[in-house]
Chains A and B, each alone.
Chain A
Amino acid sequence: MNAPQPTTATMTQQRPAPANGDFTTALKDAGLATLVTFGLSIPILSFRTDQSQANELYLRPRWGLVLVACALVFALRFVLRLYGVRWAAARQVARSRKEAIRTTTEKPRGLAHRLLALAVPVFLGVALAFPLLSYFAAGGLTESRYWVDLGILILTYVMLGWGLNIVVGLAGLLDLGYVAFYAVGAYSYALLSTTFGLSFWICLPVAGILAAFWGILLGFPVLRLRGDYLAIVTLAFGEIIRLVLINWVELTNGGAGITSIPRVSFFGVPFTNEEGGFASLFGLEFSPMHRVIFLYYLILGLALLTNFVTLRLRRLPVGRAWEALREDEIACRSLGINTRNTKLTAFALGAMFGGIAGSFFAVRQGFVSPESFNFLESATILAIVVLGGMGSQVGVAVAAVLMVGGPEMLRNLGFLKAVFGEGFDPNEYRLLLFGLAMVAMMVWRPRGLISHREPSVALGVRKAISGALVKEGHG
């Protein structure tokens, strides 16, 4: 059932497309789309339910909004139909040709490939210099805080994406509850530091180990499950952890969360404005930004550590076993690979990095609550991995910048208020557009941004293959 179905795919592609540039066809098509939009918007957009003083609902018609939506869809569809068809067809041909070449030639050396080789050092350089860049761009240490915070947020997701990539991208196990391990890490640090007063530097590895144990604990019973069953059970585990965090009030303080978690220290030196603090130790003028910038480099280091470990592991027998497991589980078993241990190591390592990222999250926020660990987080991380191209480390980083940085940019669109009126808040549409972008990106590039693979280990010449030839695993 899960296997790609070539006939239906080709059938949809080869359906006789209307003559290109045909004005009436495009008009008809756009009219139809508009009609559907009108139907879709009938009750939900055209009437707004509001509560009156007496707490009773009343309806407020908003046909103007429906008109705008219909006009928008009409224009979009018309333009796409008129000019999009030829472009899409040309791209399709070019792509299929390219894929064919890629799988047969020895060394693909296209422009994209060369850009990709450049991408890694450029990315690393920008990431390393980012606080400096934002310092000059924003014109001051305190002013650059927003940008450095955004950088920290993106890097957290890069690290989570790389962690999940071990489970989903390499071992091919679909995990929809990754946020559970993030939560375990965050609560480990929060609880250990507030109750036992342990320092962050002790808790960081402890949180990773605890999360790895949880990974094994949750991974063990689901070993036999495959495909979407595994997805739904991991989703259920994620929800269970969140619900327990909400309801076990004695331990976790329930929905209110744990507050006043100790801040990070510079390997024991606190970031305070006192004698013996970070600023006085290095003879600097005190600024709260020191801590933020230190956090930035901390998460950058942790993310790079994740990346380094993953890249190294891929060359080890266990990493090769993961990829073999993803390609064909039955063949793996026949060749004597211990699939149980292989799956468990993938779960445990993925969970460990999730837990480390979680304890970083806790120390950065100084506050954890169960609401930070909902399904949306899991979905975002998974979307980053899939959009990145499943198994491609650079792809994950690019996807994290797009998926986390993109919606964040909506906050800066204050000028739209001038267009749509004072009541317009672009932030309200953040998740709506996020959802739309997820659909659009999948339709546009189902194989992710970086859709070709270099082999981890090769005998002689390395042959990159198209991502379409990489399996996605049964589990």
Chain B
Amino acid sequence: MEVFAQQLINGLTLGSIYGLIAIGYTMVFGIIGMVNFAHGDVFMLSAFIALIFFLILTTWLGISSVALALLLVLVIGMLLTSLWGWAIERVAYRPLRGSFRLAPLISAIGVSIFLSNFVQVAQGARNKPIPPMVRDVVVLFERDGYAVALSYKQIIIMVTTAALLAAFWYVVQKTPLGRAQRACEQDRKMAALLGIDVDKTISMTFVMGAALAAVAGTMYLLYYGVVSFNDGFVPGVKAFTAAVLGGIGSLPGAVLGGLIIGLIETLWSAYFSIEYKDVAAFSILAIVLIFMPSGILGRPEVEKV
């Protein structure tokens, strides 16, 4: 029971990170119908940006308050990663709009290979560890010497995720930008005819996705305290799995999918074998897709003749 409760907490934390990345996938897929393969590497890049700014703030500028440093890192990281998201869309995807379906996919795989190797060349191939920023834990309850603990890190991650989700939910549902995004998702041609700047809307979608990936990257760094250049692929694939699981195109679906994948992964590691946790996550994906092809919260695909 205690083990289960602890794993539940760990799983939800991990799931929050996956959910944040998954939103980037789901929004892009919803609006232009492409798998943005480079998104996992944008996430990895943002973790590096966070790492470097954290070092600048703590060692050079001497900011001792972790909360302030974290907030600043988060804001700067979101800004700079958004710029990356915007630039990638502008250079690698926009010229291919209206082209056939596989071209942007190959281009995205190219960007993904470029990004991870760019970081490797620029920052070196070794793991980059930082000293733990937040150490405190809250012991929820304790029985037979096994304490179920909720660390401050986990609280920060879950609260930040929830707050940002609420903010982005508001943007997508209530603002003119969100309305334009939903319009483009439904029918891009019609939206363009009605005076929506489709290119700008798509750019903004990439910017929003990258900003959320930056939050996920910062949280990842905070949680694990280490990052390396090839940390983008596996979380990226799992986040895409989460997006598909929740029903691609659906924002709440992405978060739900992320939480489920996070839970499956941690529970599987705890009760079965840690080596096969990724196999478990991918198998769940295959099984869900075979029996529920449109995901949990997705709309069923209509077959048009």
- Chain B hits for A221, CB < 8 A: 286, 290
Q: Establish whether residues A376 and B199, one from each chain, have CB atoms under 8 Å apart when the complex forms.
A: no
- Chain A hits for B283, CB < 8 A: 236, 240
A9 to B100, CA, bound (A): 11
Q: Which of A227-247 contact B (CB under 8 A)?
A: 227-229, 231-233, 235-237, 239-240, 243-244, 246-247
Q: Does A472 contact B (CB under 8 A)?
A: yes
- Report A401-417 CB contacts with B as 1/0, cut-off 8 Å: 00000000000000000
A376 to B41, CA, bound (A): 14
Give the number of residue pairs across the A-B interface with Cβ within 8 Å.
Answer: 218
- Chain A hits for B124, CB < 8 A: 48-50
Q: Establish whether residues A247 and B275, one from each chain, have CB atoms under 8 Å apart when the complex forms.
A: yes
A470 to B96, CA, bound (A): 17
Q: Does B168 contact A (CB under 8 A)?
A: no
Q: Which of A1-58 contact B (CB under 8 A)?
A: 1-2, 4-12, 36, 39-40, 42-45, 47-51, 55-58
By DSSP majority rule, is chain A's interface helix, strand, loop, or mixed?
helix
Surface stretch bound by B, among A137-145, A195-203, A350-358, A424-432: A424-432
Q: In angstroms, how far is the closest chain A Cβ from the Cβ of B85?
A: 11
A472 to B34, CA, bound (A): 14
Q: In angstroms, how far is the closest chain A Cβ from the Cβ of B295?
A: 9
- Report B248-285 CB contacts with A as 1/0, cut-off 8 Å: 10000000000000000000000001011011001101
Q: Establish whether residues B282 and A239, one from each chain, have CB atoms under 8 Å apart when the complex forms.
A: yes
- Chain B hits for A236, CB < 8 A: 237, 241, 282-283, 285-286
Q: Establish whether residues A446 and B103, one from each chain, have CB atoms under 8 Å apart when the complex forms.
A: yes
- Chain A hits for B110, CB < 8 A: 383, 434-439, 442
Q: Does B92 contact A (CB under 8 A)?
A: yes
Q: Establish whether residues A438 and B285, one from each chain, have CB atoms under 8 Å apart when the complex forms.
A: no
- Chain B hits for A228, CB < 8 A: 29, 33-35, 248
- Chain B hits for A11, CB < 8 A: 192, 198-199
A442 to B104, CA, bound (A): 8
Q: Does A225 contact B (CB under 8 A)?
A: yes
Q: Which of A204-231 contact B (CB under 8 A)?
A: 221-222, 224-229, 231
Q: Does B49 contact A (CB under 8 A)?
A: yes
A7 touches which of B59, B114, B130, B189 (Cβ 8 Å): B189
- Chain A hits for B112, CB < 8 A: 435
- Report B212-239 CB contacts with A as 1/0, cut-off 8 Å: 0000000000000000000001000100
Q: Does B62 contact A (CB under 8 A)?
A: no
A382 to B113, CA, bound (A): 14
A460 to B80, CA, bound (A): 60
Q: Does B162 contact A (CB under 8 A)?
A: no
Q: Establish whether residues A436 and B114, one from each chain, have CB atoms under 8 Å apart when the complex forms.
A: yes
- Chain A hits for B33, CB < 8 A: 1-2, 228
- Chain B hits for A247, CB < 8 A: 273, 275-276, 279
Q: Which of B109-150 contact A (CB under 8 A)?
A: 109-115, 117-119, 121-124, 126, 128-131
A429 to B114, CA, bound (A): 10
B48 touches which of A44, A55, A58 (Cβ 8 Å): A44
A446 to B102, CA, bound (A): 8
Q: Establish whether residues A7 and B192, one from each chain, have CB atoms under 8 Å apart when the complex forms.
A: yes
Q: Does A269 contact B (CB under 8 A)?
A: no
Q: Establish whether residues B59 and A58, one from each chain, have CB atoms under 8 Å apart when the complex forms.
A: yes
A12 to B106, CA, bound (A): 21
A376 to B233, CA, bound (A): 10
Q: Establish whether residues B293 and A376, one from each chain, have CB atoms under 8 Å apart when the complex forms.
A: no
Q: Establish whether residues A43 and B91, one from each chain, have CB atoms under 8 Å apart when the complex forms.
A: no
Q: Does B5 contact A (CB under 8 A)?
A: no
Q: Which of B18-64 contact A (CB under 8 A)?
A: 29, 32-35, 45, 48-49, 51-53, 55-56, 59-60
Q: Does A386 contact B (CB under 8 A)?
A: yes
- Chain A hits for B303, CB < 8 A: 330
A6 to B189, CA, bound (A): 8
**Contact A383:B193 (CB < 8 A) given known A225-B293, A235-B237, A390-B102:** no
Q: Establish whether residues A434 and B106, one from each chain, have CB atoms under 8 Å apart when the complex forms.
A: no
**Contact A224:B293 (CB < 8 A) given known A57-B129, A240-B279, A330-B303:** yes
- Chain B hits for A122, CB < 8 A: none
- Chain A hits for B305, CB < 8 A: 330
Closest to B99 in A: A446
Q: Establish whether residues A43 and B80, one from each chain, have CB atoms under 8 Å apart when the complex forms.
A: yes
Q: Does A159 contact B (CB under 8 A)?
A: no
- Chain A hits for B84, CB < 8 A: 40
Q: In angstroms, how far is the closest chain B Cβ from the Cβ of A333?
A: 10
- Report A91-112 CB contacts with B as 1/0, cut-off 8 Å: 0000000000000000000000
- Chain A hits for B94, CB < 8 A: 12
A439 touches which of B91, B123, B240 (Cβ 8 Å): B91
19 contacts between A and B (CB under 8 A): A1-B33, A8-B97, A10-B98, A48-B122, A49-B52, A50-B124, A55-B129, A57-B128, A59-B52, A59-B59, A225-B289, A228-B33, A243-B275, A243-B276, A386-B103, A432-B121, A439-B107, A439-B111, A472-B100
Q: Give the interface of B toward A (CB within 8 A).
A: 29, 32-35, 45, 48-49, 51-53, 55-56, 59-60, 80, 83-84, 87, 91-92, 94-107, 109-115, 117-119, 121-124, 126, 128-131, 188-189, 192-193, 198-199, 233, 237, 240-241, 244, 248, 273, 275-276, 278-279, 282-283, 285-286, 289-290, 293, 301, 303, 305
Q: Give the interface of A toward B (CB within 8 A).
A: 1-2, 4-12, 36, 39-40, 42-45, 47-51, 55-59, 168, 174, 221-222, 224-229, 231-233, 235-237, 239-240, 243-244, 246-247, 330, 375-376, 379, 382-383, 386-387, 390, 428-429, 431-432, 434-439, 442-443, 446-447, 468, 472
